[in-house]
Amino acid sequence: MLEGTEVTAKDQEYAIEAHGVHKFYGTTEALAGLDLQVRANSIFTLLGPNGAGKTTFLKTILGLVRFQRGDIRVFGKLTLELESRAQVGYLPERFYFYPYYTVLDTVTFFMALNGVHKKSSSEMIEKTLELVGMNALSKRRLSTLSKGQLQRVGVAALLVGEKKLLLLDEPFSGLDPLGTKDFKELIHKLKVAEGKTIFINSHGLAEMEKIADDFAIIDKGKCLAQNSMKSLLPGVTLEDFFTTTIRGKN
């Protein structure tokens, strides 16, 4: 399946399509024929117990680890192609950058790094900082920011890089309830106002239930369930469904 790279109308509906992905670290099979689809312009969450293969899958999308079999397409293009990876932005659990850079320096740096040279670059930066709620703090050094504020800078860095697919790794870990609420609103805005696809790796089932459109549950490198949040039966929480799914397979 690796040779066909033609984009079809169906491909365009998905931000990510993974088929039969196998990844071995030595003799450990981290991904055991993983199949997964993520709709474009949706909020998707990948759930699974420790060691299920979530981080490995995220790394394969980014091209950071090679997999042995299967294929992964991003907006219809195989991840082997640079063009596909250029559309993907990654926000780690903790966004780190030079602590002595200001918010503005950082965002400007990422804009240039991604080869985005717009005549109206200062306008774009201002609009982005406004969107992530960091305009008032644009002259502050990163070393003086809280975790939640740093994450917003990280999101701004992805936005000025014009990434269409945003991979967020445990975005709520370490945020206080207010920070969590604000960040959830920002994620929603990224989908609705900016047309982004947001893929979230998380253990926070309660948070995910509130903001994600779709979810997949993986364990031992295999997809056990993939559904829309709306498909959960009345009275069944995501945590209930997750527990039943994982216990049922072990």
- The residues that touch ligand ATP, with contacts defined as CB under 6 A, are 25, 28, 30, 48, 50-56
Rank residues 31 and 175 by Cβ distance to ligand ATP and give the closer one.
31
In the complex, what is the shortest distance from the CB of residue 121 to ligand ATP, in angstroms, rounded to a whole number? Answer: 36
Q: Around Cβ 233, how many Cβ atoms within 10 Å?
A: 7
What are the distances in angstroms from CA 106 to CA 82, 133, 187, 213? 24, 15, 20, 31
In whole angstroms, what is the distance from residue 75 CA to residue 193 CA? 19
**Which CB atom, from 132 or from 217, has the smaller least distance to ligand ATP?**
217
Spatial separation of the C-alpha atoms in residues 204 and 60, rounded to whole Å: 22
Contact 23, 56 (CB under 8 A): yes
Burial class (CB in 10 A: 0-12, 13-18, 19+), 158: buried
CA separation, residue 208 to residues 55, 133, 224 (Å): 17, 22, 18
Least distance CB 80 / ligand ATP (angstroms): 20
Query: Closest Cα partner for 174 from 198, 208, 150?
Result: 150
Output the smallest distance, CB 123 to ligand ATP, in A: 39
Distances (CA, A) of 36 to 19, 31, 146, 249: 7, 12, 35, 18
Nearer to ligand ATP, 60 or 149 (CB): 60
Shortest Cβ 164–ligand ATP spacing (Å): 24
How many residues make up the chain in this entry?
Answer: 250
CB of 87 to ligand ATP, least distance (A): 22
Nearer to ligand ATP, 54 or 73 (CB): 54
Nearer to ligand ATP, 5 or 55 (CB): 55
Cβ proximity to ligand ATP: between 119 and 247 the closer is 247
CB of 116 to ligand ATP, least distance (A): 31
- Residue closer to ligand ATP (CB basis): 56 or 149: 56
Minimum distance from CB of 244 to ligand ATP (Å)?
A: 19
Tokens 């759930």 belong to 47
Classify strands 214-219 and 222-228 as parallel, antiparallel or unpaired.
Answer: antiparallel
